[in-house]
Structure formats: C-alpha cells, structure tokens
Amino acid sequence: MTETVPRGEKRVAILTGAGRGIGRGIATTLAERGYNLVVTSRTREDLETTRELVEGTGSEAVVVVADLKDPQTPSRLLRAALDSFGRLDGLVNNAAVNIFAPFWTQPEGNLDEIIATNLTAPFFLCQAAANHWVNKGLTGAIVNISSAEDTIAYPDQVPYASSKGGLLSMTKVLALEWGPLGIRVNAVSPGSVDTEMTPEIYRKQAPKLMPIGRLGTPEDIGACVYFLLSDDAGFVTGTALYADGGYMLQ
Amino acid sequence: MSGKLAGRNAIVTGAASGIGKATAMRLAAEGATVFCVDRDEEGLAKVVADLGEGHLGYPADLSLASSCLQVVAAALDHWDNRIHILVNAAAILIREPTLEHSRRAWDLTFDVNLKAPFLLSRDVVASMIESGIGGAIVNVASVEAVLPGRGHVAYTASKGAITMLTRSAAFETAPYGIRVNAVSPGVIATAMNADLRKDPESWSEMLAGTPMGRHGEPEEIAAVIAFLASDDPSFVTGAIVTADGGWTLH
C-alpha cells in the first residue's frame, strides 16, 4: 500500500458491476492489493460469490444489491462505504450494458437503457463521491471503465459506442474541473477480454487477432484500475488507458 | 436549380438560429431543398421566408421522441420517401455547476443532443436503405468532446457521445452508400454563447489561446457541413472534422 494509508489500514473503493466478468476481476485484484470494497450489481447471488473471493484474499466486501438507474443508489453506496469501513478512497464505475442490433432497427428503449446505465449512472456516482470528498476536505480517485469502442467502431452497437464516447468525454471534463479539488478521474478502455460472455470464436481467433496473442483477462483490467487509483498515478488525470493487447494498432 | 446539391432534399435541425440557420441557407444556396426544424416558431418562419419558395419549416420540440418520429415521417411524406441529407445541428447547453448538476438538466441535454440525432438518423437511414438512394448525414459535435470546458458537464458528455454515434453509424451504414460524418466546431458566435460575448474582455481573453485569434462564424461551420453533405467527400465517412481556428492544436 501507499504511504498515505497507515500500516494495516486498508483503502476503500466502491465498485459497480462487481458480480461478473471484468468487474469480478477488478474486485479480486483490488482486494489482493489491500482494498476493502463495496460491491454492487443487480444480482445478489453473483455478488456473494465475489464477496467470497474478496474475503479469500484477506480483504472485506460489503454487498449492496442495487439498480444503478435508481437515483437513490449513489447515496446508498456511499453510505455503505462509510458505515462499513468509515472511509472512501476510490470509485470504479464498471457496470455497463450492451444490446446488439443494426442501427436502423434499434428501438428507442435500447438507447435509453444503455445511456442510463453506462453514462448517467456513472456521472451521478462520480458526483456523489466528489461531493463527499469536497465536503469533508478529502481527496479521492475515480476510474471509469470505458471500452475500445469509445474510439473505434464495431457493428450493431451504436447506442453502446455512444455511451462510451460520452463516458470518455465526461472523464475528461470531470478531471479538468476536479483537478484543483484533489480528485483524479481516469478511464480504462478494455479491448477483448475473456469473460463468461466471450464467444468461443473469439478465444480461437485471439492468437491471430490480438498483437499480444491472447485475449485480456479481467485481472489485466484490474491491474490497470489499481494503478490509476493508486498514488503512483498521482500526476495522471483525464486520460484513458487502452488495455487492448494492441488491437487498436491494426 | 444548379449547384452541388441540386435535386437533394435536406432536413436541418436547429435551423432557426446559429449553425443550423447558416447551414439551411448554405444548403439552399447550393441547390438543396431544405426542411427546417426548430422549436422557435418565429425564428423558423423568418428563415423559411428568407430561403424562399419550395423550402419548408416544421416547428418541433426535439426533446420529445414523438416529435423526432413526426419530423422524419412528415419529411418522407412531403418528399415521396426521398431524404438525401440530414444535418443534426440542434443542441442545448445548460450551465450548472458539476457538483450540483441536476438530473433534469442531464436528461434534457441528452434528449436533445443525443437521443434526437439518434432517432432522426435511425429513421432517415432506414428510409435511405429502403429507397436505395444512399445519402449523407452530418452531425454537429464539439471540440469540447476532447478539450472540455467547465460548468456544463452534460453538454460535454453528450458531444462525446454524438462523436461515437457518428463513427459507429458510419461503420454500419457504409455498405448502403450512406456516409455519416461530423463537424466539431470550436468557439462559434451563436446564441449559445451570446451571454459570454457581452463581456468583450473575458471573451477576447478566452480567444487569445486560439491560433487564429478569433471566434468562428456559423457560416464557416455551415461551409464544412455543406462539403460533408455533398458528393465531394465521397470516400469520407465516420470523420470528425475539426473546425476551430486551431483551438485544439495546443
């Protein structure tokens, strides 16, 4: 741990979308490196498994089942962190949804759902965390999980790409405005990561498709998140770290 | 009528003022027939009167999804299912401190700046594919998507979102002869910043960082839009054309 945390004391972060995939990898990586976590998603069962994995590292996790579209969720998560651990050091906005369809057949509801979860919810969580830090005279760090799709296009995902483009710009403006307050805001933009949702064909094609020769792991993304939350990244704000195995170079 | 856009039917949103108005005038000057959309009925009537015979005004509040659907339906009806050009210029900017930015302001900004272009583009693209005529869509983004300003976080995030809407829609529609591009304006003198221009000292201070040392005029953005809407950039799609007097160079 870094010098600002007394020996034996853990940092605390809120992590959304913590029940599966990249979120679970972020949870275990942060836990191994000394974070206690407030983990949230819509599914208790998934979160309980994440909690067990976190506890296996010697850290603690508090489970909050919540719908990120609910305007009360940011204050609930903040309260969970303060009630359980008495502090908040970081926020990781990882939860996201995607719905695939050709652009010209997309129902209006797809855009609403995706923007609400992938962009509106992260903003109001950032706002709640920042208000907490500012009101208490504290500082903190935020990492938003974006996507290579904040920059490059894939088929059938116009609403998702829009949400990630917006998240990247939001990350920049928050970093600009909150820099003087001691709050750093960055993004990690993953490429293809191997999760339970990854189609088998991706795994087969990975050696050819990815310059690094493999798909990413959730723990790869967790390591990037850990770095951006840490004091080692103390001069880093408003940036996106593309963790894509070199895919975007092609 | 002669001109690069002779025989083309174009929808322009935000056509009662600023970049939208300049675009309507420019497209008409190049031979297009323009279907002008704005919530400002009075301003719209003046623009349509200036444009002269054959052009239309359609008052609509684009924050309402139902209005967006009606706009495309009315234009398709009027032009016998042939829309060649759509320019999404309508946008709003709400100044609220980021730590107190309201959900109301956030949602309204996204309704006008992202959802309306999404719905209009979706339905126009569907008609272009059905009629097989191809076409061009031009969105108005902002340099703020990459170099953010302070005090209007939702606007900035919405412009990042429209940037990726542009790129991902371009990717999907390219096989159908449809090009989707965006212009990314820097500081342009419009109603959006009329209040700021009342203080000439701070205005010129802000512009001192622009290599060209001045703000842009709506007509200078309209010129870029007219180019992107024409057949000249026939190999250009998914491009974000920055028109900012060099603002983002440094």
Q: Would strands B56-59 and A35-41 be described as parallel, antiparallel, or unpaired?
A: unpaired
Nearest CB to A165; choose among B122, B160, B238 = B160
Reference B134, options B8, B2, B4, B1; nearest CA is B8
Evaluate whether residue B81 is within a structural domain.
yes
Nearest CB to B161; choose among A134, A166, A174 = A166
**The pTM is what?**
0.94
CB contact under 8 A, A156 and B172: yes
Structural domain boundaries in chain A: 11-242
- Pick left, alpha or beta for residue A104 (phi over 0 → left; psi -120 to 50 → alpha; otherwise beta): alpha
Token digits of residue A6: 């007394």
Cα separation of B129 and B134, whole Å?
A: 7
Which strand ranges, in their side-by-side order, compose the sheet holding A90-93? A61-65, A35-41, A11-16, A90-93, A140-145, A183-190, A240-243
pLDDT of residue A207: 87
Cα separation of B57 and A110, whole Å?
A: 30
Spans of chain B, pLDDT less than 70: 1
pLDDT of residue A5: 57
Cα separation of B147 and B186, whole Å?
A: 10
Evaluate whether residue B249 is within a structural domain.
no
Place of tokens 């302070």: B150
pLDDT of residue A7: 58
CB contact under 8 A, A153 and B121: no
pLDDT of residue A6: 58
pLDDT of residue A196: 86
| Active-site entry in B35, B110, B155, B227 | B155
pLDDT tens digits along A63-102: 999 999 999 999 999 999 999 999 999 999 999 999 999 9
Evaluate whether residue B99 is within a structural domain.
yes
Using a CB–CB cut-off of 8 Å, the residues of A that contact B are 71, 102-106, 108, 111-112, 115, 119-120, 123-124, 127, 130-131, 134, 149-159, 161-170, 172-174, 176-178
CB neighbours of A60 closer than 8 A, spacing ≥ 6? A10, A36, A37, A54, A84, A85
Whole-angstrom CA distances from A87 to A61, A111, A142, A180, A197 are 14, 35, 15, 21, 34
Whole-angstrom CA distances from B152 to A93, A149, A170, A176, A207 are 21, 24, 10, 12, 44
B143 and B124 Cβ atoms separated by less than 8 Å? no
CB contact under 8 A, A108 and B65: yes
Cα separation of A142 and A147, whole Å?
A: 16
Report chain B residues whose CB lies below 8 A from the CB of A176.
148, 150
Spans of chain A, pLDDT less than 70: 1-8
Domain that holds residue B204: 9-244
Q: How many Å lie between the alpha carbon of B64 and the closest alpha carbon of chain A?
A: 12
Backbone angles phi, psi at B142, to 5 degrees: -170, 145
- Pick left, alpha or beta for residue B18 (phi over 0 → left; psi -120 to 50 → alpha; otherwise beta): left
Report chain B residues whose CB lies below 8 A from the CB of A170.
153, 156-157, 160
pLDDT of residue B54: 95
Total domains present in chain B: 1
pLDDT tens digits along B139-188: 999 999 999 989 999 999 999 999 999 999 999 999 999 999 999 999 99
pLDDT of residue A1: 37
Interface pTM, i.e. ipTM: 0.92
| Active-site entry in A160, A226, A242, A247 | A160
CB contact under 8 A, B148 and A173: yes
Which strand ranges, in their side-by-side order, compose the sheet holding B9-13? B56-59, B33-38, B9-13, B85-88, B135-140, B178-185, B240-243
Examine the residue annotation and report whether B155 is marked as an active-site residue of this protein.
yes
CB contact under 8 A, A172 and B146: yes
A40: which strand partners? A16, A64
Report chain B residues whose CB lies below 8 A from the CB of A125.
none
Task: Report how many Cβ contacts below 8 Å link chain A to chain B.
Answer: 141
pLDDT of residue B147: 92
Reference B221, options B181, B174, B250; nearest CA is B181
Report chain B residues whose CB lies below 8 A from the CB of A119.
110, 157, 161
Residue B231's CATH number: 3.40.50.720
B30 and B4 Cβ atoms separated by less than 8 Å? yes
pLDDT of residue B189: 92
Out of 3.40.50.720, 3.30.70.3040, 3.40.50.150, 3.20.20.70, select the CATH number for domain A11-242.
3.40.50.720
DSSP string, A30-41: HHHTTEEEEEEE
